[in-house]
Structure 1
Amino acid sequence: MAFTDEQNEQIRKDLIREARRCGITIGMRKTSVEQLTNSVGISKGSFYKFFDSKELLFFAVLEDIHTECFAAAQKSLQENTALLPTDRAAAAILAACRWLAETKAFVFIENDADFLLHRLPEEVKTAHYHDDEAHIRALLEGGGLQPKGGMALAAATVRGLILTVSHQEQIGALYPQVLETLVRGACRELFE
């Protein structure tokens, strides 16, 4: 069956949305192509018109998660230009952490991202994948934030702070205050 351009675009979006839902709820490894195609109402054979493999679909999910997470931080930086660099950086990191927690995207990242990246063809990773450090570096530079100690230390610190999202259950009810304390302390150290 041939789809219109509009239908192709919608089916692609639906597959990504469903893969993301599955990635968060049951994981990439337990998700089958058949399950995805049944959910969006296309044949299994039609799936391969949109993605060459299940891994490439989940890679699109990973790219969307990165894009949306960093967009939350970018939006915060743009909305808080009047704040001191320390407070701007803290607000941006907290915005990214809140986005990850609210969407539960960290579940997919923690459980499947490394596995997925090892299964992708090298040329796909080379052409499309930029690690967190590159995104964080671009975000800080774009926001005019110059960390003392250098960009590598700042990027690694931000990455470490974002990883706390996956430990919020272990930290418990105090997680929001713990995160705020860690982020604000790190930002004072990096940007004051």
Structure 2
Amino acid sequence: MPKSYSDQEKEYIIRRLKDEAMNCMSVYGIRRTTVDELVRRVRIPKGTFYLFYDSKEQLLFEALMEFHEKIETQLLQRVERMSGREPEVEAITDLLMDFFRQADEAPVIRLMNSGELEILARKLPQDELAAHFSEDAGMAETVIARLFPGMEGEAEKAAEQFGDAFRTVFAAMIYGHEGGMTGNTDSLRLLLRGLVLQLFELYDSRKTNRDAELK
């Protein structure tokens, strides 16, 4: 990094680049978001951009992952407040509904419907993508273990079984905008509640088996 930038200035530039990356993706999409537009908005020389990022794709991916981590952190905070109590179908369904709605309200999420996210993924190192998907699986495992006491040892298997199902529901929500199915929260709740009920079936089955082993 050039000595002309203090640590505070570097932090400021990175923060501004990420903020404008999200704004540009929401307005232009990934293809039409350019380094020229980003540096114009942040008011830095183009050469300075490449002191911080090797490519436009690296910046866009980091900005998206930061947003992803933000809403996941908020979810986990709510999960922690519910942990230790006997799980309830409606309470967990409400929790997931809020999480899905929050993600859906972010304009950048529409990128998932455009196919542009796949373009970004093709230009990124595969190890970065693999690490992201591994973190996703770990988060699902943590949520299940916290919400369903006693399933800690089986949360990994449950996360694998239900993770893809929840991602499918999320994709259906995103693609619903293309078909004009906006604001159809009743359908979304029905799908989420069905998955939650199946989680409860698994939880009750494991609980019954453990109780039988203790007798």
Instruction: Classify the TM-score, shorter chain.
Output: 0.7 to 0.9
Secondary structure in 1 matching 2:133: coil
For 1:1-192, what aligned pairs fall within 5 Å after superposition?
2-81=4-83, 82=85, 84-111=87-114, 112-126=116-130, 128-131=131-134, 132-144=136-148, 146=151, 150-169=158-177, 170=179, 172=181, 175-192=184-201
- Identity of matched residues, %: 21
Distance 1:153 1:183 in 2: 15
Distance 2:57 2:145 in 1: 32
- Unpaired runs of 5+ residues, structure 1, are none
Distance 2:34 2:170 in 1: 30
- Unpaired runs of 5+ residues, structure 2, are 202-215
Secondary structure in 1 matching 2:181: helix
CA offsets, 1:69-113, max 9 Å, x none? Answer: 322321332343446253443233212211112222321344332
Corresponding residue pairs, total: 191
Letter in 1 for 2:160: A
Cα root mean square deviation, aligned: 2.6
Tell which structure's C-alpha radius of gyration is larger.
2
Preserved CA contact (<8 Å) 2:86 2:148: no
Letter in 2 for 1:61: A
Distance 1:76 1:11 in 2: 32
Distance 1:154 1:65, change over 3 A: same
Letter in 1 for 2:166: V
1:123 deviates by: 4.4
Q: Scaled by the length of structure 1, what TM-score is found? A: 0.84
1:119 deviates by: 0.7
